[in-house]
Amino acid sequence: MTKNVLLLGCAYPPELPYFTRGTASLGARVYAIDMLPENQLPQMVRESLSGYCQVPSLTDEQSAIDIVRRWAGSTTFDRIETLWEPCVLLAGRLRDALGAPGLSYEQALRFRDKDKMKQAVAEAGLRTPHHQRANHGDEAFAAAEQVGFPACLKPIAGAGSENTFRIDSMRDLENALAKAGRDREYNIEEWIEAEEYTYDTICIDGRPVFENVSWYRPRPLIGRSTEWISPQTVTLRHFDDPEFDEGRTLGRNVLKALKQESGFTHMEWYRKSDGEVVFGEIAARPPGAHTVDTMNFANDIDLFRGWADAVVNGKWDLDFERRYNCAIIFKRAQGQGHIRRIEGLDRLLASFGEHIPAIELLPIGAHRRDWVKTLLSDGFVFVRHPDLDTTCEIADRVGTDLQLYAG
């Protein structure tokens, strides 16, 4: 029987059209809601849809629910899904309102609210950073005093490392709040000095059918706060090595604690120098910043379609071999204004071209992006190789030898 799938948000980030196409390729009828006029959706999305509803806002949950109810009429949805962080709670609300399977609003809230998330994980006996909730900026000072320094300031409902700061003093906290804003909720948590990794899964009824571990070089908070750095995410070929056993076990136990059902999850965790592993946070969606692409390149598979088959049909039959490590390196131009020249690319391709499966850099003449607001920065390069050390060496060469100049 043909399934009806409703997707929330389908145009941004740039990975989402591929999930839309992957779902339609299974023969499902794909419906979507988003804020753009239909004729402004990416062509890949338009070609994949059986129906579309434009809504004024994806964050005004009650308004969106009312509009979807009227638009859907007698149509029922076998799945209501989102792959974009800001829509996770709306998806839960719509499942509750329309009787669709999947995470309820209360379940979804534990994947979105960092304080409730850590409480549930800690109650399961898993190591989490010590933390305190601050319902607004003014409460953050008392919370920081309880947690102690160094600490980390995070928005309760943040995504990625945006508006996240390491704080070593009350003065640091004051400065961070001046940048992030006082009129929002925060989590103040223990600063964990460690390497940072991901644990990503596709699950069917809570059972991981695909697992991935990626390594951040350097930690995201450092990469997002220092302009000259070219941050890397390295998807690991041998993620099942014994050194990652405790991290994978932690991830599987977190999924149980939060009662994950079917779909993508993206977790971040720490490994300290003494070997202790600590939970960071988890989201009920795939990783962003083209990390799904690194998984596809590392394994020569199509996880956009694989996810759809797992969620829509409860099946996982992708046959693949983990052949590569794959790194994505994000590049930031020097200077301000428009991209004037790109140096080093030809030399890198001459030396390592067979190990560089894809490149996307802003063209000459394009205005450079605000590196603080987007990890994608002014472009990125993928590198893959069977050997991890070689992968990192080539990735570091991309970081140092490839330069974009703006003016």
CATH label of the domain that carries residue 151: 3.30.1490.20
pLDDT of residue 12: 87
Mean pLDDT of the residues in the chain: 95
Mean pLDDT of 18-33: 96
Helix (H) or strand (E) holding 92: helix 88-98
CATH label of the domain that carries residue 18: 3.40.50.20
- Domain shared by 229 and 290, yes or no: yes
CATH label of the domain that carries residue 380: 3.30.470.20
- Domain shared by 93 and 122, yes or no: no
- Domain shared by 255 and 221, yes or no: yes
Q: In this model, does residue 161 exceed pLDDT 70? A: no
Q: In this model, does residue 346 exceed pLDDT 70? A: yes
Task: Give the position of tokens 């928005």.
Answer: 155
In the three-class reduction of DSSP (H, G, I as helix; E, B as strand; rest coil), residue 135 is classed as: coil
- Domain shared by 112 and 223, yes or no: yes
Distances (CA, A) of 367 to 162, 224, 338, 375: 22, 20, 4, 16
Question: 278: which strand partners?
Answer: 270
Please tell me what DSSP assigns to residue 227: T
- Domain shared by 271 and 363, yes or no: no
CA within 13 Å, CB half, 17: 11
- Domain shared by 149 and 228, yes or no: no
Q: How many domains does the chain have?
A: 4
Q: Which residues contact 66 (CB under 8 A, 6 or more apart)?
A: none
Structural domain boundaries, residue 118:
104-126+192-323
Closest CA to 76 of 101, 111, 108, 59: 101
In order, the DSSP letters of 25-85 are: TTTPEEEEEESS-GGGS-HHHHTTEEEEEE-S-SS-HHHHHHHHHHHHTT---SEEEE-SG
- Domain shared by 109 and 204, yes or no: yes
Question: Pairing between strand 232-235 and 29-34?
Answer: unpaired
- Domain shared by 156 and 227, yes or no: no
pLDDT of residue 224: 86
pLDDT tens digits for 95-152? 999 999 999 999 999 999 989 999 999 999 999 999 999 887 788 999 999 999 999 9
Mean pLDDT of 12-23: 94
- Domain shared by 156 and 94, yes or no: no
- What whole-number percentage of the chain has pLDDT above 70? 99
- Domain shared by 172 and 318, yes or no: no
Question: 12-16, 289-293, 348-352 — which is least confidently predicted?
Answer: 12-16
pLDDT of residue 245: 97
Mean pLDDT of 162-173: 88
Q: Which residues contact 346 (CB under 8 A, 6 or more apart)?
A: none
Q: In this model, does residue 159 exceed pLDDT 70? A: no
